[in-house]
Amino acid sequence: DAIKRAAAIAQDKHPRVKDQIITYGTAGFRTRADDLDHVMYRMGLLAVLASQSRKATIGVMITASHNPEEDNGVKLIDKLGEMMPLEWENYATQLVNTSDKGIPAVIKSIVEAEKIDLNVKAKVFIARDTRPSSLSLSQAVLQGVQALDGHPFDFGLLTTPQLHYMVCCENTNKNYGEPTEDGYFGKLAAAFLKLQTESGVKRAYSPKVNVDAANGVGASKARQLQNMLGSLLQLNISNDGTQGKLNYRCGADYVKVQQCAPDGLAIENGMRYASFDGDADRVVYFYLDNDNKFHLLDGDKIATLVAAYLQELVTGSGLNLNLGLVQTAYANGSSTNFLTQKMKVPVACVPTGVKYLHHKAQEFDIGVYFEANGHGTVRSLNIQYCKIYLYHLHTILEHFCKLQTVGDAISDLLLVETILAYRGWSAVDWDNMYTDLPNRQLKIKVKDRTVVQTTDAERRVTSPPGLQEEIDRLVSQYKNGRSFVRPSGTEDVVRVYAEAETQEYADRLACEVGQVVY
Ligand code: 16G
Ligand code: ZN
């Protein structure tokens, strides 16, 4: 039968050659591309089961986001564009780590646990980023889908959020939008044009944005968008993959962590810049001031810009809607203070990882969520209700945010530009909303990162004993000092974050905390 045949193909064409355990983490499976062929094939098999279990189309995205070009990864997308629930992450880990001969038994256990009807027609959407390894890995997924008699549809190159969009549109009977690239760009462009014409663009606004596309898939996609926007928005795209290497000294993660401009573009003062990551689900902005000093406008600055604007719309409407913001421990202390004290916007804090933010955001009528690293969007479950009163708000939520279950660099960029145009703001004006506390991130290689355990949304350590007391002691020596450590969910390291009154102090505090972790 099909299951036996699938196992035979696994052994023959996609064997598991190394006896190494790999787990489905925060962002799916992610490791060196060379170790992933059998993982991809088996994820193709699992996608068929997921599709049969859901009686819906399931997505499989091949990317390792901001990781180095040599890495790759894969994650499943559930029927409404969300991440798969925990049980399925566990099935994925089981199926990937069994021997080739063990495949039928694992499949059968999943079929039993989920009461799957193997006669249901399965449909799987596949897409990939621009890594050299992605094409052959996506073919392994495709063969996995076919081995269990599923119907694969290969979109080729897409950003991660585009695939989420495709899956969700397909499963909602297309009443949200067409599951095609034309559908996606058409929707975004139409909303942007509408908001610009109807709320007016202040003269002080400059529609020029320089985009660092991390040498990834975001470059060609941003160009497609540009073609639909004419002169309303002028994207000048660098790091488009024709010269540089993916994510190497460029992209959102590099710019955020190193706090400097990427290679591959000539940065001038007076201009506005945006950096995407390798699969274009994150964006951060930056600029150079008149003294040629670099300034970062990260996920916290985007969240603040968006939350303040939406709050204005809500207040103006007189509607009783509660608006809140969700952040993680990485959020700059100044942003949290500004929002809670000045703007009176309630702020919740959750552990790192989009799924936690996305989930928490639903506790508000309008939940803005962003990680400092640039992952985020706005979530609103009952937007129909404000349609008549809050026309702009509705357009924004419906067209820029509704389908963004993971954040989307392209639609977030349009959202930021919409607000800047409405306010007539430059990057400097935006930056002046509040001043970031200087901060530093470090990563520490340790023997076993699982020894570090945290609580209180990763802000405090519970293990090893004594570590939190040490951190508290160090932090107390710095004005406006704050620091935490947490085990990474994507790399074999412990991460350290520190902020303080000056850059020198933030650097020093991070170092001192790093030493007690080590
Ligand atoms: C993943 C997460 C991202 C998080 C990052 C933290 C998603 C889609 N992506 O990339 O949100 O910021 O991991 O990585 O959830 P870390 O655990 O290595 O610090
Ligand atoms: Zn990404």
392 pLDDT band, cuts 50/70/90, is confident
Q: How far is the CA of 320 from the centre of ligand 2 (A)?
A: 35
- Give me the mean pLDDT over the 383-402 stretch: 68
Percent of the chain with pLDDT over 70: 97
Is the model's pLDDT at 382 over the cut of 80? no
Is the model's pLDDT at 288 over the cut of 70? yes
For residues 195 and 149, which has the higher predicted lDDT (pLDDT)? 149
**Environment of ion ligand 2 (residues, CB < 5 A):** 65, 277, 279, 281
369 and 376 Cβ atoms separated by less than 8 Å: yes
Is the model's pLDDT at 48 over the cut of 80? yes
Q: Which ligand is nearest to the CA of 216?
A: 2
Binding site members: 65, 277, 279, 281, 371-373, 486-490, 495
Average pLDDT, the chain: 94
260 and 294 Cβ atoms separated by less than 8 Å: yes
7 and 16 Cβ atoms separated by less than 8 Å: no
Atom of ligand 1 at shortest range from CA of 328: 12
Quick one: pLDDT at residue 317? 79
- Give me the mean pLDDT over the 238-264 stretch: 97
Atom of ligand 1 at shortest range from CA of 66: 10
- Give me the mean pLDDT over the 8-14 stretch: 97
Quick one: pLDDT at residue 383? 62
Quick one: pLDDT at residue 315? 87
Binding site members for substrate: 371-373, 486-490, 495
- Give me the mean pLDDT over the 291-316 stretch: 94
458 pLDDT band, cuts 50/70/90, is very high
Give the active site residues: 65
Cα angle for residues 67, 218, 128 (degrees, 5° grid): 65
Atom of ligand 1 at shortest range from CA of 355: 15
**CA–CA separation, 337 and 312 (whole Å):** 18
- Residue nearest atom 10 in ligand 1 by C-alpha distance: 27
Q: Is the C-alpha dihedral spanning 211, 181, 166, 416 positive or negative?
A: positive
Quick one: pLDDT at residue 299? 98
Region of residue 245 (left: phi > 0; alpha: psi -120 to 50; beta: else): beta
Q: How far is the CA of 185 from the centre of ligand 2 (A)?
A: 19
Q: How far is the CA of 74 from the centre of ligand 1 (A)?
A: 14
Q: Is the C-alpha dihedral spanning 23, 26, 32, 36 positive or negative?
A: positive
Quick one: pLDDT at residue 57? 98
- Give me the mean pLDDT over the 130-138 stretch: 98
Quick one: pLDDT at residue 194? 86
Quick one: pLDDT at residue 403? 66
Q: Which ligand is nearest to the CA of 217?
A: 2
Is the model's pLDDT at 388 over the cut of 70? no
Quick one: pLDDT at residue 386? 57
Quick one: pLDDT at residue 92? 98
Is the model's pLDDT at 287 over the cut of 60? yes
DSSP state of 121: P
433 and 301 Cβ atoms separated by less than 8 Å: yes
390 pLDDT band, cuts 50/70/90, is low
Atom of ligand 1 at shortest range from CA of 281: 8
Residues with CB under 6 A from ligand 1: 26-27, 65, 352-355, 371, 373, 375, 406, 488-491, 495
Cβ neighbours around 308 below 10 Å, total:
18
Quick one: pLDDT at residue 391? 67
Atom of ligand 1 at shortest range from CA of 373: 12
Q: Which of 74, 78, 375, 485, when mutated, tests ligand 1's pocket best, judged by the most ligand atoms within 8 Å of its CB?
A: 375
Quick one: pLDDT at residue 468? 97
Is the model's pLDDT at 242 over the cut of 60? yes
**CA–CA separation, 415 and 378 (whole Å):** 10
- Give me the mean pLDDT over the 376-397 stretch: 71
Is the model's pLDDT at 395 over the cut of 90? no
Quick one: pLDDT at residue 417? 96
pTM above 0.90, yes or no: yes
**CA–CA separation, 169 and 81 (whole Å):** 9
Is the model's pLDDT at 93 over the cut of 60? yes
- Residue nearest atom 4 in ligand 1 by C-alpha distance: 353
Q: How far is the CA of 300 from the centre of ligand 2 (A)?
A: 17
Q: Which ligand is nearest to the CA of 278?
A: 2
**CA–CA separation, 141 and 341 (whole Å):** 50
Q: Which ligand is nearest to the CA of 496?
A: 1
160 and 279 Cβ atoms separated by less than 8 Å: yes
Q: How far is the CA of 188 from the centre of ligand 2 (A)?
A: 20
Q: pLDDT tens-digit profile of 155-189?
A: 999 999 999 999 999 998 777 789 999 999 999 99
The DSSP bridge pattern shows strands 366-370 and 376-379 to be antiparallel
Q: How far is the CA of 127 from the centre of ligand 2 (A)?
A: 14
Tell me, letter by letter, the H, E, C secondary structure of 129-164.
Answer: CCCCCHHHHHHHHHHHHHHCCCEEEEEEECCHHHHH
Structure-block tokens of residue 489: 């969910």
- Residue nearest atom 12 in ligand 1 by C-alpha distance: 353
- Residue nearest atom 3 in ligand 1 by C-alpha distance: 353
Q: pLDDT tens-digit profile of 332-347?
A: 999 999 999 999 999 9
Q: How far is the CA of 27 from the centre of ligand 1 (A)?
A: 6
Is the model's pLDDT at 196 over the cut of 70? yes
- Residue nearest atom 16 in ligand 1 by C-alpha distance: 488
Q: Which residue has the tokens 């996606």?
A: 184
Binding site members for Mg(2+): 65, 277, 279, 281
Structure-block tokens of residue 349: 């804090």
Is the model's pLDDT at 486 over the cut of 60? yes
